[in-house]
Amino acid sequence: AQTVTQSQPEMSVQEAETVTLSCTYDTSESDYYLFWYKQPPSRQMILVIRQEAYKQQNATENRFSVNFQKAAKSFSLKISDSQLGDAAMYFCAYMGGNKLVFGAGTILRVKS
Amino acid sequence: ETGVTQTPRHLVMGMTNKKSLKCEQHLGHNAMYWYKQSAKKPLELMFVYNFKEQTENNSVPSRFSPECPNSSHLFLHLHTLQPEDSALYLCASSQDRGRSNEQFFGPGTRLTVL
């Protein structure tokens, strides 16, 4: 079965600085999708960024980018120019078949 | 309303009560999901419905009973719950069960079982 590991329960970043959240996964499949979801306090979970495994180019969405290392099964999220609104729980997720598997999440705190 | 809505947002119930959680999606999606979110644990997929048919039951105890009358509505009926069932219950929907499809989440129902 696929598993997703987020080794950082909590992270802090100073406003305007850059932070990287780690994610590793375990799978025997070659074709799959990876996602980062953001869950702000008491608000709905939303998709931040998505990566297709067969695409070598790292996905980017404005201040959010990923470092996808397929051989290492690593999928980290980099947030540049951090803003107060980035404070949230971030979940890494994997979809190979038709089931989304989530990591335990990383709480990101942004300091002003 | 847009997106995925859930009611109630908060629910406190005793172990002998019967209650229901409601989810509605306004996105024209065909797949709907129930997840359980407990503190410091990954989201646990509970049930999946695709075109109103249940396609996955992730070994969920029978005290949780889902119902999907149409592609826009999903219910989770609760009876004789245990205190360890206290959690945030999230509903989600997606266009279909394809791998690339983003799942859109509701705000959740915070359930407390006394």
Per-residue pLDDT tens for B55-69? 888 889 999 999 999
Q: Which residues pair with B11 in a beta bridge?
A: B111
For an interface test with A, which of B43, B47, B96 has the most A Cβ atoms less than 10 Å from its Cβ? B43
- As a residue count, chain B comes to 114
Tell me what the mean pLDDT of segment B2-18 comes to: 93
Residue B108: count of CB within 10 angstroms of its CB: 24
DSSP A11: E
**pLDDT value at position B99?**
76
Residue A20 exposed, middle or buried by CB count within 10 Å (0-12, 13-18, 19+)? middle
Nearest chain A CA: its distance from B15 CA (Å): 25
CB distance from A89 to chain B under 8 Å?
no
In this prediction, residue B28 has a pLDDT band, given cuts at 50, 70 and 90, of very high
- 3-class SS at B47? strand
Q: Name the closest residue on chain B to residue A3, using Cα atoms.
A: B42
**pLDDT given at position B1:** 54
Tens digits of per-residue pLDDT, B65-90?
Answer: 999 999 999 999 999 999 999 999 99
Which segment of A32-36, A49-53, B38-42 scores lowest on mean pLDDT? B38-42
* Nearest residue of chain B to residue A103 (CA atoms): B42
Burial of B32 (0-12, 13-18, 19+ CB in 10 A): buried
Distance, in Å, from the CA atom of A43 to the CA atom of A86, rounded to the nearest integer, reads: 13
Beta-carbon contacts of A52 under 8 Å, excluding residues fewer than 6 positions away, are: A33, B100
Minimal C-alpha gap between B101 and chain A (Å): 9
d(CA A110, CA A40): 12
Q: Does the bond joining A9 to the residue before it have cis omega, within 30 degrees of 0?
A: no
